Structure formats: structure tokens, C-alpha cells
Amino acid sequence: MPAHEFRALYERLRRGAARSTEEGRPGALRHVTPERVMAAVAEVRLGRTVSLAAPIETVPGPDDPEPAVHRMTGPAPDDLGANGLHFATDRFAMNVHGDADSHLDALCHVVLDGELYGGVPASSVTPEGARALSVALAADGSVGRGVLLDIPRLRGVPWLEPGDQVTSDDLTAAEAAQGVSVGPGDLLFVRVGHRLRRTELGPWNAATARTGLHPTALGFLAERKVAVLGGDGNNDTAPSTVQGISFPVHVLAIHAMGIHLMDYLQFEELVPVCAQTGRWSFLCAVAPLRLPGATGSPVNPIAVL
């Protein structure tokens, strides 16, 4: 996609987001109204819960050169067999925006032309943290109707190969094939099979080769007033198909439309349940950590069917 075409798409989506008449929470979370949350509760039929997060990686790999660090800080070795009360304690640290662990991107994550979403100056992101649009905006979580669109299932393959892209036509066709429709306030999850491919073939350098959405597919999200977008990859294809923009989907979703993104989720436990029941929508709860000033958070979305 030439740079001028991408800019035109960006401006169109940005203006459309700005024209929204719904009030409430910042960004696309405003589409998750109390009425839509109440309606989403009716999606629960089985009382079954399924995690959409992958286990956090602590071993270096091609897609995770700086894995999370998990250290036990207690009890002391001498306390393990001693009488009396002792506690097991640990410490955890991670690179939130890596290419392996499930995480949520805050609206301050993307800087374009010196600005954040909504024209907020990029200078609001300081060495001490973001003073605006941090993950704190999602402190109350995102609870609503989740919809999973399984693109490899649509195409009859186990996964999409790195470099492939999901189009608006793919999303529309997946709706029809799965008997589901994406609507206002929905939490949209798009499966490309990244996790299954990683499990079957081993990790690779996803920074240089991965599957994602075509930038024009964001028009589908705008039309349907999607509140949150989550994928089992990065949501962006690599190499990028847009001249001069490495992460066009991140730019469009976060910077233009105010949509919180979730990257590197996993749907391999959810897919068989949806396929068995013939239902691809569910109640979903997304609860990022309350990290003041943070640009994102580890996340463990829960689907309730």
C-alpha cells in the first residue's frame, strides 16, 4: 500500500472515530455500554470459562530474546524443612510489548507525528510513565460480548503462513461461515493460527515474519464499532505492506480509532469448544493490571460460554 493511500485511510478512520456520538469511556471502549454488557451476559449457556492467554515465556527464543524473569525470593533454603511459619514468595518482570507473551496495548503506546491518540502531545509520555492515555484507562476492564473469527478454519488450513494477511472479505466470510455477526461494542478476536504454528514448528523471529490484518480490514472494525481487537499474533503483518509504516494496524487501531489491542493471545483451547457448540460468541472479561503510567499490561482474557 503506498504511503499516500495509507494516510488517506488513516484520516478517514480518525474522522469517523471522532464523529462518534457515544459518550463514556475514552476511545473505542465507549462502545461498551451498560446495556451491551447486560446483553452479553445472555451469551453464557454452559458456565464454562476458557483462558485466551498463552503461558508467559521465561526461556529465550527466536521471538523472545528478552523473556520474562521469574525469581523465587523465599523461603530461604534453611526454612524449607524448619518448623514454624514461612512463606513462598517470588518476583516477576517482563518486556510487556514483546513477540511472545499475551499483552494489552494502551492508547499511549503508539506515537505518530509527535502525537498520541486524540491529538494528545507525545511529550505526555515521560521517563516516569505516561501522564495520559495509559493502561489506567482500562482499569475497570473490558467486559462484553466476545466474537472469535477463525480465518484458518475459513480457508481450510491449520494456520496462515507468515506474511499472509486477513482482509475485510475474510472477516465477512468468516462471519457467514460461522453463523455469527460482529456488532457495536464487541470484543473481536481474529485467529490466524500463529500459536498453533509456533507449537507445531517451533518459534521463529516473528519480528520479521508474521501474519496479521491488512490495513483496510480496519474499515470493518470501524463499521461495526468494535471496542477491542485481539489476535493470536501481533495483529500486524511482517514485513509491512505499507511504505514507511512498520505497524500500520497498530497505527490505525490505536492512534486513529482509539481501540485497545491485545497481541499474542492463544485460541487453541477456545476453538474446539466453539466448534463443538456451534457458537462463536461468548461473554468475555479482559482485566489488565492496574499499572499507573504504563503503556500496556500482561493480560489474561477469559471467555465465559
pTM check: above 0.85: yes
CA 252 from chain centre, in angstroms, equals 14
pLDDT at 23: 65
- HEC states along 252-265? HHHHHCCCEEEECC
Which run of H or E residues covers position 90? strand 89-93
Cell numbers placing 66: 528478552
Q: What is the pLDDT of residues 93-138, one digit of tens each?
A: 999 999 999 999 999 999 999 999 999 999 999 999 999 999 999 9
Peptide bond between residue 248 and the one before it cis (omega within 30 degrees of 0): no
One-letter identity of residue 21: T
Ranges under pLDDT 50 in the chain: none
The answer to whether 287 and 141 have CB atoms below 8 angstroms apart is yes
> What span, in angstroms and rounded, lies between the C-alpha atoms of 22 and 32?
10
The answer to whether 160 and 166 have CB atoms below 8 angstroms apart is yes
Q: What is the pLDDT of residues 208-222, one digit of tens each?
A: 999 999 999 999 999
pLDDT at 80: 84
